[in-house]
Amino acid sequence: MRQLGQFVFLLSLPFATLVPMRSMAAVSSDDFLVRTTGQLVALCTAAPSDPLAAPAVNFCHGFAVGVERVLQEQDAVNPGAKPLFCLPAKGVSRNRALSEFVQWVSADPSRTSMPATDGVAGFLAATYPCSQ
């Protein structure tokens, strides 16, 4: 059984090195509504010079961890069902996972229009499939 909290909480990440979805366009207050995966990626890849960079990156981390935890709780209350994803026993650094998430979205631009929660869930399922 997977344990909650397998993401290692790190406080900083040089998001400027991630693959940008909007060429490091300025973050808008509308992006914080996180209606789409593209908006979540915009927050995750905010340029360090953007006035909203710190809140954007913090929001990105919190949103992604929140979705991951809710999905794990959902799996926990359905013990007979196959889990949507299985994180490695050694855990995954949150920064690495979010970097991989941005790359996963970048690989198929149609993913930017998905609801943000579906984008995170799709990434987790594709990147950390269960071997059971």
7-8 vs 92-93, strand pairing mode: parallel
Residue 1 lies in a domain: no
Residue 132 lies in a domain: no
pTM for the whole structure: 0.80
Six-digit token string for 27: 């973050």
Percentage, residues of the chain above pLDDT 70:
80
What digits encode the pLDDT tens for the residues 53-107? 999 999 999 999 999 999 999 999 998 899 999 999 999 999 999 999 999 999 9
Residue 57 lies in a domain: yes
- Through-space distance between the first and last CA atoms of the chain, rounded to whole angstroms: 11
Partners of residue 93 on adjacent β-strands = 8
Between 24 and 79, name the one with better pLDDT.
79
pLDDT computed for residue 16 by the predictor = 34
Residue 28 lies in a domain: yes
Provide the number of structural domains found in the chain: 1
Between 98 and 22, name the one with better pLDDT.
98
Residue 2 lies in a domain: no
Pairwise CA distance, residues 73 & 69, whole Å: 6
Instruction: Supply the range of the domain harboring residue 88.
Output: 7-127
Partners of residue 3 on adjacent β-strands = none
Pairwise CA distance, residues 131 & 119, whole Å: 21
